[in-house]
Amino acid sequence: MKIFNFSPPAGMVSAMLIGLMLLSPLATNGMAGPQTPNPETSDPQAKKIHITAQRLISNTADNNAEFIGNVRASQGGTLITADSLKIFFSGKSDTGEASPAQSLDKLEATGNVEIKFDNRLAVARQAVYITARRLLILTGPGAAVTSGENTITGETITFYRDDGRFTVEGGYHGRVTATILPEESGLE
């Protein structure tokens, strides 16, 4: 295992940047339905990903890298903050050939997770993004997503990015709650 302070190996940087770029489309679609193009992603400056942390541990033998301590990752209008952000990747590209960029399998943010995207805020103890399934899972008591005055909370919130659907489970610690401000008349 190698420990680095703010200077990951060159091949690892590509894997981490690809991973965060794959997460960024979440910022343009969030809980909404069909995906729409984001004008921010057509600008090369908006595609840049900036990550800061107190420490980076790169474990090439186990194909992962972890940013630890006051992690802040941003790209365009998306901001992720957490106590740690771990990136899991395979040693081969999507074509199956060896690649310095490698293929991202999963991102895992842990501890005081906040994800700000598309005028929404997601908070949880843990957030996992599985790239192949395009799936975001927020977990922990009080996991919540807020959009304006609308809020959903539960112990597990799962976003299915391909079709814009989500599920919320109350779990052992409580029930699902939702606060909705309808645009037109509600239950009356």
Q: Which residues fall within 8 angstroms of residue 129, CB to CB, at 6 or more apart?
A: 22, 23, 26, 106, 107, 108, 135, 136, 137
| Residue 135, pLDDT above cutoff 50 | yes
pLDDT of the residue at 23: 40
Using DSSP's 3-state secondary structure scheme, residue 61 falls into helix
For residue 54, name the pLDDT band (cuts at 50, 70, 90): very high
* Amino acid occupying residue 106: K
Residues 38, 49: Cα–Cα separation, whole Å: 16
Residues 36, 51: Cα–Cα separation, whole Å: 26
- H or E element at residue 106: strand 98-117
Residues 117, 94: Cα–Cα separation, whole Å: 27
1-38 tens-digit pLDDT: 333 333 344 444 433 433 333 343 333 333 333 344 44
For tokens 């957030």, the residue is 127
Residues 119, 23: Cα–Cα separation, whole Å: 16
pLDDT of the residue at 102: 62
pTM of the model: 0.70
pLDDT of the residue at 173: 67
